[in-house]
A and B are shown apart, each in its own frame.
Chain A
Amino acid sequence: MKNRKAAKRNAAHPLDGLLPLIEAEGRELHLHATVLEVAEMNQLAELASQPKIRRYLLCRLSDTAALVEPGCTRELEDTLTALQHTPKRLHGDWQ
């Protein structure tokens, strides 16, 4: 456990302590997934540091994208709106 805390303190990436990067053993395809995208890394850090939002984020895909907990899209959108964020909601649009 001490090692874990030490690793957290000395994390190579500033987001590792807040939202870990996806770790896949092999090649994976996530169907009907929900991705939260932001413009800057700091924004993702800010969102991940809010417990009400963090609970709906599963892991990080990049510095500006996070995979959302399966089945929690609506809850995430509602929470973001309730916290005065104005997320653009797109369905099936990847571009």
Chain B
Amino acid sequence: MKNTIRVERAIKNITQAELADLIGVSRQTINTIESNRYVPSTVLSLKIARVFNKPLEEIFILEDTD
């Protein structure tokens, strides 16, 4: 699964730290999600989507290998 969080952050102009504060996780967690080393739970994904005001599918995209 890949995601567009880095792009969305750039559009909204917030840092990893600010996004982390908004959804109540550590900066490390945001960083591992962005670099595809951690797949967030549904709850966390929904929280991220809510911050960016976009449907889930626009931020998290399934890959062929999934």
Partners in one complex: no
Q: Which A residues have a C-beta under 8 Å from some C-beta of B?
A: none
